[in-house]
């Protein structure tokens, strides 16, 4: 009985092994077929391209080093090196910088290293602000080309700046031939008569018929074409006898007038313009959106109406400062309107940025005050209104009357004379920008200090160069309105600018040191849960956003000297309650 059971187990094991072998045979057959098909494909490719049958041995190439001479040859060699080794684009700049020799290293590092060292000392500055500071301090020619490429990172900006710097250094300058003589301001009392030979070129301006012109001795150094070519070959400066280097500074600077008479330069063809950049610039100039339409600000040349698109109420803004008709994309997604794609359609907006249109909608029917309009609109994420009607629509009206004092628009639609009435601002005083100081109230803000506290004096921060001008403007505006006054207080706190969501700046005082010695108020500030409980059963909700709400409360006169702050232009103290004080929410 035991032998039969053992035999059955052995038979089952053998059967299981045979099944596994069969499965592996099938897998091996599939792999063999795959390898066979791959070999056949390689053989066909080799037969189709007999030139590739020659195999180049694995050759180790050395990256060319650059010492400041023959830039074009070095660029050609490094491009060949990158092509041979298939070097990724993001690694090429690092490899190239490592192989710079002699004076080229400080030439490249002089600006970038100084900028990086200064940027590392600043805390809380965004990448966009650093990018703006870096591009803003470049040379005008290089800055213009870098801005045209719209770099998004600092590394990309450095790479572009390096490329355009090499481009302008290797680009020869063309001089116009000297055709006429000019009478210069005399520096000495003895004249020198010099005869100017006539040329075959027609004069730009009528010249005297006399063959000689009196020219005073002005110590003008003229360099002949042969001398210029000799200095170029020897890499010598025009103003001194030293070798050329990017970081060179002449020991004895003089103001010299270089005049080169090179007849061949007149035959040189003019450089072709950059058609891609010129085309993009013309496109931006053709399509534009005003700042009023972008942000919804009321201004001259704008009217607002209520309209209907497929039964949905939309806000319509007629703006003579916009070139085309623009529709908010969320309207199309909500109504599921048919969208046609559009490529390379950029719109220059009022804040000097460019927005890309997401598409266009043809034959969009809009009803405004009972009148039907058929429009072609572009999809653009504007925040001022749901629909912006620009010059493209106004031009189709023909002769029309726009009265912005009464906010009426009169025109012919078909055979009828139509008058559209814009929305009137019924509360101009409420929405106007406040000016001057708020009235004195029974509860002005006070700053009680701990007993025995010393005056707070904190060293001011280092501001980016792009923010200094903005700080000066905001300080002058606050001085004019009386929000701050000059101070001689022993207290001093630093200030900082914080950017808001609407791209404007928020002037804040860093009062952390003052808050540390301030007696904290025990006023109970309600929590979010308590506020939500209070809204139980409510049906209508409203939102109130005060403009600089803290500035609507005065600081007690005996506590104003404690709010003193310092900028790079002076020392001031607050008359109204500033942002950042520890007891400010309780007072507000």
Structural domains in the chain, CATH included, are: 71-169 (no CATH), 288-421 (2.40.70.10), 465-586 (3.10.10.10)
Show Cβ contacts of residue 269 under 8 Å, excluding neighbours closer than 6 positions: none
**Residue 427 to residue 404: CA distance in whole angstroms:** 17
Query: Which residue, 546, 478, 541, is CA-closest to 509?
Result: 478
**Residue 39 to residue 33: CA distance in whole angstroms:** 10
**Residue 286 to residue 288: CA distance in whole angstroms:** 6
In this prediction, residue 266 carries a pLDDT of 42
With vertex at residue 497, the alpha carbon angle to CA 145 and CA 461, rounded to the nearest 5 degrees, is: 95
**Residue 439 to residue 553: CA distance in whole angstroms:** 8
Tell me the helix, strand and coil percentages in the chain, rounded to 5: 40, 20, 45
Please give the chain's pLDDT, 588 residues, in tens: 667 777 888 888 888 888 888 898 888 888 888 888 888 888 887 666 554 444 555 677 888 887 767 777 888 888 888 888 888 887 887 888 777 776 565 656 666 667 776 776 666 677 777 788 888 778 788 888 888 878 888 778 887 887 787 777 765 544 444 444 444 444 444 443 444 444 444 444 444 444 443 444 445 566 777 777 777 777 776 667 677 666 666 665 554 444 544 444 444 444 544 444 444 444 444 666 665 566 555 556 678 888 898 888 888 888 877 888 888 888 888 888 888 888 767 777 665 667 778 888 888 888 888 888 888 888 888 877 888 888 888 888 888 888 877 888 888 887 788 888 887 765 556 666 667 777 787 788 888 888 888 888 888 888 888 788 888 888 998 888 888 899 989 999 998 888 887 778 888 888 899 989 888 887 767 788 887 888 888 888 887 777 777 778 888 888 889 989 998 888 999 988 888 888 888 887
In this prediction, residue 421 carries a pLDDT of 83
In this prediction, residue 428 carries a pLDDT of 59
In this prediction, residue 66 carries a pLDDT of 77
Residue 192 DSSP class: E
pTM (whole model) above 0.75:
no
Contact between 180 and 150 under an 8 Å Cβ cutoff? The reply is no
In this prediction, residue 245 carries a pLDDT of 65
Dihedrals phi, psi of 339, to nearest 5 degrees: -110, 130
In this prediction, residue 282 carries a pLDDT of 44
| Interior/surface letters 27-61, b for 16+ CB within 10 angstroms, e for the rest | eeeeeeeeeeeeeeeeeeeeeeeeeeeeeeeeeee
As given in the structure block, the two tokens for residue 114 are 């100084």
As given in the structure block, the two tokens for residue 139 are 């040379």
| Interior/surface letters 88-102, b for 16+ CB within 10 angstroms, e for the rest | eeeeeeeebbebbee
Query: What sign has the CA pseudo-torsion 437, 439, 443, 449?
Result: positive
**Residue 467 to residue 126: CA distance in whole angstroms:** 13
As given in the structure block, the two tokens for residue 275 are 């058609």
| Interior/surface letters 183-212, b for 16+ CB within 10 angstroms, e for the rest | eeeeeeeeeeeeeeeeeeeeeeeeeeeeee
User: What angle in degrees, to the nearest 10, is found between the helix axes of 154-170 and 71-85?
Assistant: 140
Give the three-class secondary structure for 484: strand
With vertex at residue 138, the alpha carbon angle to CA 109 and CA 118, rounded to the nearest 5 degrees, is: 55
**Residue 410 to residue 389: CA distance in whole angstroms:** 15
Beta strands 495-499 and 484-486, pairing class:
unpaired
Please name the residue ranges forming H helices in 49-126.
Answer: 71-85, 89-98, 104-121
Query: Which residue, 423, 411, 400, is CA-closest to 296?
Result: 423
In this prediction, residue 71 carries a pLDDT of 73
Query: Which residue, 356, 317, 364, is CA-closest to 337?
Result: 364
In this prediction, residue 459 carries a pLDDT of 87
In this prediction, residue 573 carries a pLDDT of 92
Long-range contacts of 153-162 (CB under 8 A, 24+ apart): 153/127, 154/127, 154/130, 155/93, 157/131, 158/93, 158/112, 158/134, 159/93, 162/93, 162/108
- DSSP per-residue codes, 332-387: HHHHT---B---S-EEEETTS-EEE---EEEEEEEEETTEEEEEEEEE---SS-SE
């Amino acid at each position: 009985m035991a032998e039969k059971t053992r035999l059955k187990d052995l038979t089952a094991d053998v059967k299981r092994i045979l099944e596994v072998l069969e499965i592996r045979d099938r897998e091996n057959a599939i792999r063999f077929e795959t390898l066979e098909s791959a070999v056949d494909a390689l053989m066909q490719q080799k037969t189709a391209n007999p030139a590739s049958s020659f195999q180049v041995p694995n050759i180790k190439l050395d990256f060319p080093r650059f010492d400041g001479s023959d830039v074009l040859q070095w660029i050609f060699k490094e491009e060949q090196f990158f092509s041979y080794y298939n070097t990724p684009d993001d690694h090429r700049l690092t490899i190239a910088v490592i192989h710079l020799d002699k004076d080229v290293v400080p030439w490249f590092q002089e600006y970038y290293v100084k900028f990086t060292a200064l940027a590392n000392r600043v805390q809380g500055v965004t990448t966009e602000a650093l990018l703006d500071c870096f591009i803003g301090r470049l040379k005008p020619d290089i800055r213009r080309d870098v801005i045209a490429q719209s770099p998004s990172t600092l590394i990309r900006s450095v790479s572009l700046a390096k490329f355009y710097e090499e481009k302008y250094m290797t680009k020869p300058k063309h001089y116009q031939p000297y055709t006429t003589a000019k009478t210069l301001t005399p520096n000495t009392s003895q004249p020198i008569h010099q005869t100017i030979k006539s040329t075959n070129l027609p004069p730009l301006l009528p010249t005297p018929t006399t063959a000689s012109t009196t020219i005073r001795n002005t110590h003008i150094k003229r360099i002949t074409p042969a001398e210029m070519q000799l200095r170029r070959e020897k890499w010598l400066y025009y103003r001194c006898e030293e070798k050329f280097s990017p970081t060179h500074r002449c020991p004895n600077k003089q103001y010299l007038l270089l005049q080169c008479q090179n007849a061949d330069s007149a035959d040189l063809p003019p450089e072709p313009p950059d058609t891609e950049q010129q085309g993009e610039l013309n496109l931006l100039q053709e399509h534009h959106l005003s700042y009023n339409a972008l942000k919804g600000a009321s201004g001259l040349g704008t009217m607002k109406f209520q309209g209907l698109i497929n039964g949905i109420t939309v806000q319509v803004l007629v703006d003579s400062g916009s070139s085309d008709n623009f529709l908010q994309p969320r309207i199309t997604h909500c109504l599921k309107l048919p969208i046609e794609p559009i490529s390379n359609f950029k719109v220059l907006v009022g804040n000097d940025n460019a927005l890309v249109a997401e598409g266009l909608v043809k034959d969009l029917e809009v009803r405004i005050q009972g009148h039907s309009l058929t429009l072609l609109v572009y999809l653009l994420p504007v925040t001022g209104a749901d629909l912006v009607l620009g010059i493209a629509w106004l031009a189709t009206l023909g002769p029309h009357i726009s009265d912005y004092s009464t906010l009426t628009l009169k025109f012919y639609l078909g055979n009828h004379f139509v008058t559209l009435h814009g929305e009137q601002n019924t509360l101009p005083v409420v929405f106007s920008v406040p000016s001057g100081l708020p009235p004195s109230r029974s509860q002005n803000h006070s700053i009680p200090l701990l007993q025995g506290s010393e005056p707070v004096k904190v060293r001011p921060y280092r501001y980016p160069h792009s923010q200094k001008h903005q700080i000066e403007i905001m300080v002058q505006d606050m001085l004019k309105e009386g929000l701050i006054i000059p101070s001689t207080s022993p207290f001093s706190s630093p200030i900082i600018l914080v950017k808001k969501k609407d791209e404007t700046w928020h002037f804040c005082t860093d009062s952390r040191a003052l808050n540390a010695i301030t007696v904290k108020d025990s006023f109970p500030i309600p929590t979010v849960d308590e506020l939500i409980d209070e809204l139980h059963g409510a049906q209508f909700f409203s939102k109130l956003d005060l403009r600089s709400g803290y500035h609507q409360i005065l600081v007690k006169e005996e506590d104003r000297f404690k709010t003193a702050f310092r900028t790079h232009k002076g020392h001031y103290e607050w008359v109204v309650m500033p942002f950042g004080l520890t007891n400010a929410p309780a007072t507000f």
